Structure 1
Amino acid sequence: LLNVLQNLEKDIISFVRAELQSFKRVLEFDYPESFESEESGEQRTKETFLHLTVDFLRRMKQGKMADHLQSSKMASQVHKNISFVQRKLKSSLQQKFQCVFEGVARAGNPTLLNQIYTELYITKGGTEGVNEEHEVRQIETTSGRQAESETTIKCEDIFEISLQEPGNMRNRLPIRTVLTKGVAGIGKTVLTQKFCLDWAEGRANQNIHLLFPFTFRELNVLRDKQFSLIGLVHHFFSGLNEIRSFEHIQVVFIFDGLDECRLSLDFDQTKALTDITESTSLDVLLVNLLRGTLLPYAQIWITTRPAAANQILARYITVVTEVRGFTDEQKQQYFRRRFQDETQAIAIIAHIKASRSLYIMCHIPIFCWIAATVLEHIIKSKSRDLLPQTLTEMYIYFLVVQIKAKSLKYDGKSEVELQWSPTNIEMVESLAKLAFDQLLSGNLIFYESDLVQCGLDVDAVSSYSGVFTQVFREEPGLYQDKVYCFVHLSVQEFLAALHAHHIFANFGVNLLSTVQSSADTTPKKDFYQCAVDLALESQTGHLDLFLRFLLGLSLPTNQKLLKDLLTQTGSRSEVHQKTLNHIKQRLNEGLSTEKSINLFHCLNELKDRSLVDKIQWYVNGLQGLSTTLTPAEWSALAFLLLSMDLDVFDLKIYQASEWVLLRLMPVVKSSKKAFLSICNLSWKSGGFLSSVLCSQSPSLKHLDLSNNDLQDSGVEQLSAGLRSAGCRLETLSLSGCLVSEESGWSLASALTTPGSSLKSLDLITIFTSLCSSDFCVHSLDSNTAYRQLHLSDRTVTRVPTDINYPLHRDRFDYWPQVLCCNALSGRCYWEVEWQADWPGEKTRGVDIAVSYRSIGRKGEGGECGFGFNSQSWSLMVCYGFYCFRHNGNESRVGTFTASRKGRVAVYLDYPAGALSFYRVSKEQLIHIHTVNITFTGQLFAGFGVWSGTAVTLK
């Protein structure tokens, strides 16, 4: 080593002398000098000397030593340089994010973010595909309670989610790109701000060297310009021009609000880009950053509303997380923090919980702020007004509170003076028109060009946002570009409904109708009925909340709250009743349960609880829950059960049928346990339940489907749900569901899916090759055989003359029946082949039965006949059809092509209390009937064999 260093010293001295001569020649010919700061010049000298040393080592064939020296020195130098930039960046982000304006932007008194921040419920994983339903409909099907099986994370751990099994800390895969989904107002932006502030203040993620937060609102303004990646950073973070490279450092980019992106992100056709100094359009820049072709070691965090999540291809996303807003416990924490008086806080929480509509909306943090703003105002003003009980009332009060605040602050009005000045009315009408026009276009974010297209004065709108910020806000961007939006989608929908109602009430124009009528010929009832029908046409429910507000505004009590803003329409009792009747008529049309539930929310806004109160009476006494219920009443039951937050759902309590299951599917979705055994379900239910398992934030963990006719197709559809990344099911029972080997493989594939939560699977089936242990070998008991029944091996034949059987007390002396010897227990399966010579279509063939030993034997009374008493259950094979009979009650349960022979399978699940009959056709089992029984004694197989018939045990 010493010899190497001595030779290196000689070469460097020789090189320096030569370079000095070169510098002298440059100075003699007046080449321009380089003027650099002392700090920059010193840094450049050190870099030059390093490059010289490395170069000479390579000339001397000391490549490894050169590489080691270069990587070590460069990394050390980069970290020294970056620490200066990092301090400047942290100071900038701390100043930007340490204060927030709750619910608004740049308005009112600032509040420290760390002081008001309430931990949000964030989960790892998300639903597959895109949920295009209205976001309020989505949160209505999401429980506010935390599911034990879900992986929850904290804000600071967004890049620390292990992709391995819990507890396995080895070989953790790097988290490059995180996509966080959440509905509007759920707290995604505040979450990113909290992440940045914690980093800037040194509380978390100090392994990150540089952190650059962007919003798509800001990027949209620059969509027609070109930038390099390093240029984009310099553009948004002035004063950081020292950054020339991101090598050897950990950098994080945050992009907030993908749903607001107006860039074209084409991952298939966009050209590749690898140079961070090459300028291009923003869409090309972002696509390459997300692909990983540009700065592959950077980490990226994107937030979006659910409907826009598919703009980024799944293969470029490492982890999906979801912000669920507040849990039930966090809602209460928010109000307790907002209202320091504990008694007051408890009363407000109780009031919110009493209204399901309000309590659901409090899942969204910004609605908690709206509700708190309204309730605080009512309490402070000591108003005699009742606290708002519906969504419409809450938003009317919110509007009134903002108008009063504006009047006090800017107009010099007193609290008691009329707040509806002509200026205020014009302001609200203008905002309401903007809200309606943009809602129909699907826009939540507006730019000056959007306002101009709507015919609005940009200067006037800016003045509105300056004095009315808590409803409509203006956010300054770079170079004074402005972005406009309402504080939440629900505020926009309320104002849109206000505009539609105002135009119709004042001018008779129905903005919801494609065919306009004159004011004189448009009945008022048609306006509301048209709105109901229009909302029901939507598959995604995008007008659900708009409809609730519109109908709520039809009430005179709500119009009175808005005084001069809305024209008072006088007596509305006839219109009100016709609207109610129309909604109830639509409820009886068999709408989807989601649409029906929204109509019940509409009835709440109209202060009508007649249907729900009727069903409440049924539920309290468990009376009348039968086929006498109308579709509207079944929907009312679903609405009522959802409000009860049931953990356990048992379909048999209400009615064991597939149709009822479909009506109550949202209740299944919100429950933790669902008992659906022996409910006459077909393969179609597999698809229904699969959608539950695939749904957003499924609560279901235990599902009992035993002894239903799911068959292969139903099980395969269910398996698709089990493969869903969001499925949380832990226990599944499919006993007796006709699972074949083919669908068994489909189940096996689903259960081996990475991340599967299933811990227990009951798959005891009646498929021959899979359950031979359940086959029962019966022996006919000759001591019970009727005298005209001939027993030969395992066959029973009806003969015309008596057989000389010995006298026995167990023998049937009138009914042509016979029992088997062995008692049945556990799970048993057997098959019976029957033959019949049918002399006529009404001829009775054979009875295939199970019976207690205590069934009567003597005489012709019903106490001795299979199915005519409480001691036995019988399937009668008749000419072309089957009948099931128990305790004298008979019902036709299936048909078949009339023939002289056939085969029936019987499956008994004694512990579960299930008895099933199947038709065997070409080695396939076709379900006939299943009955649910609580057995109380030993059971025996039995057969009734009538004239011209015979049965054989297989």
Structure 2
Amino acid sequence: MAGRGSDTMEHDGGETISDVSFPLGEGVSGRGRSTISMSDEGEEAFYVPERRPSLDLGDGLRPMDTTHWHDVERAQSPVHSYNSVNSDTQFWPSDELDEETELSATRVQLERTESYSSGYSVDSDCETRTRKSQDAAPKEEGPAVEPPRPELIKNPDEKRHPALTVDFTFKAIRKTLEKLGKDDLRIFKITLWKRYPESFSSPPQGMDMVDLVDRLLEFYDLEVALQLTKALLKDMGLKRLDAYITDLCKKNEVRYELRGTLLRKYSWMCEGVAQQGEHKAFESIFNELYITDRGNAGPNIEHEVRKIDKLSTNRKEEKRITCSQIFDPDVIYEKHVSHIVTNGIAGVGKSMAVQKFIMDWAEERKHNHVYFLFPLPFKELNLMLKLKISLLEIVHTLYPETKALPTFECDEGKVMFICDGLDEYAHSLDFHRTETWCDSTEPAAMHVVVTNLIRGNLLPSSLLWIISRPLTSSRLPAESVHQVLEVRGFTNEQKEEYFRRRFQDPAQADKVIAHLTSCKTLHIMCHLPMFCCVVREVFQQTFREKGPDAELPKGLTLMYTRLLLVHLHVRGARGSASRTPEEERDFLMNLGKLAFTMLEKNQMVIGKATWKDCGVDVAEAVTNSGLCIEFLIEQFVMYQERIQTFIHPTIQEYLAALYVFLTWRCTGQNVLQQPRNSKFSRIFKDPGLLDMHRSAIERSLQSPDGNLDVFLRFLLGMAQTANQELLQRFLPDNNKCSSASEETAAIIRKKIKENHYPDRNANLQCCLDELGVGAEAPRRSRSNSVKNQ
């Protein structure tokens, strides 16, 4: 091009645009809008001569004919803000326009106003524009064809997808335009101005990104704004960005539908062994849990009577966190944590924590940095064990709305998987021999997919949350676990909050809380949400049957028997091998014998040899039944030992009492005394029961540290009618025994009256509560007999 030459820039679509830059002069200000393409007259239609100090034609021979200058000066602009294009305003700074852009705009003004002849040049203090002679103009075979302006039509019958919101549309268009280079963005604005000038009161070249997108959404419907953006990107040859914004919209729709699926699936909660119709809204009953970053703290050993030395587990100080702080963005990005394992004993609230996390994400309250959330319960994965399947197909099977996506990888946020119930997985995981698998779209055996998901080979940038009982989670490879959390149930404040939520009548709630506070063992065990559920059901039944002023039951045995049945029910629901009632009874008696033997020695830790002697499988006791727990203790630096105990000392005492009672019912043998003639013991059931109670009372009183006190309460409560009804499937079909409550109560009252063991009188009073009979003597304060609190 004459004057300054030209540079060219080629875009994705092959379009070549002249890059000649100059500011607009006053001589062409005030011209109307144009919709003529920049290529209407060819890139050589105009040129910019050198700037001169005087108004002449450049040869100094004659003055310039300024006939038309006056008319141009007085021309009125149909665009009110267009005068600002020539100044240093925000709309059109000269350094943002390329030469062809300004040249095209100038040409439009000249042609539409016809205010001066093409044979003259304009020379002033501003830069000049000179119309080249027609001889120099290239020959045109016909008028240049402007790409057709896309029709922006919204179908009134088409229902807008609920995911298409103003907020999403704004972010989608903005993120797409931010991927444009500086030159492409300038061309986008120019094309937008030329094709849709009615949407702007002034050229958009000076607008920042926020103002530009705001203006589009103010003038057009959401669908039309997206349609317009995609059309311009396509015309510019930017097909990848067109596909990008289309993909954003599709992912947003899938995300919306996924949230809806999770809300329908997790909005309801059943506690304990809920019957049909007993599901309740999760948000109405959930309260926070006690969660720490100390993953192997061991069982709760708080006890009403016994003094139990706490085992050294982890020496670091623990930090308490809430459900909403799990996978906090600061932890993810600053500490590079992407794999978290959360463990805890049975009934401690792990599933409740998972449900809270999912609900917070689905309702958009928390975890907005997670774009896709896919819970993968292992009880559902167990149904696919025989299939050869890919990770992508697993997600498509569990969440069909995701089939619209070929992959889950995205730049908009993290993809997160929740592997709930690793201990329920029916296939063993071998992290040493299982083959490496890195393609999330290629089918493989289920254990290969699960193993490599945990290793981090499938979707390495994703987040993974594994929930399990301690025995299974401790087998995971250390390099695949970035943080270990532990759910410990409820604190004292959370226990109170739980019962206030469950009992709508404040008077009943106060009565329940006061009752639990007075029964220390019940109050301690309420650190387990599952036990709280059992207590709630018993108390609600009492209020229903006896009225709001009813006295609440003080016994422990009935509560623990219900808890045992819940554990056994959960074991069956987890897919464990079914057992006959006789096999279930044998398992309980073997575990109870182990508990009784250790209780007599005042031991908590179960040794390896002990497991072999009692004939109980460790995994069955720890993982399946959930009555025991495995954790790590630090013997010395850099050496840890795995040990097993019962989940709470009172569970050990209950199982020991159950063993003694079932042995007597099934064989007639009193394990608390020397074996008797079984023929006579079977004939005299009731006297045998009374003898067993008498021997148990004597042994408890003679125990110097009180380690049999709570055991005695459980044993006396076993023979009560309500408790035997719950244990009916484990009892023989022969004659039922009476509870011998009054005879046993008479023995206990006599012991209290004799007062040979004053520090045990409070426990004897509790034994009367367990028998369900009143006490003749005034009850002493239990606090006098509580030792080592």
TM range (shorter): 0.3 to 0.5
More contact order relative to length (CA 8 Å, sep ≥ 6): 2
TM-score, structure 2 as length reference: 0.48
User: Which is higher, the Rg of structure 1 or of structure 2?
Assistant: 2
Name the structure with the higher strand share. 1
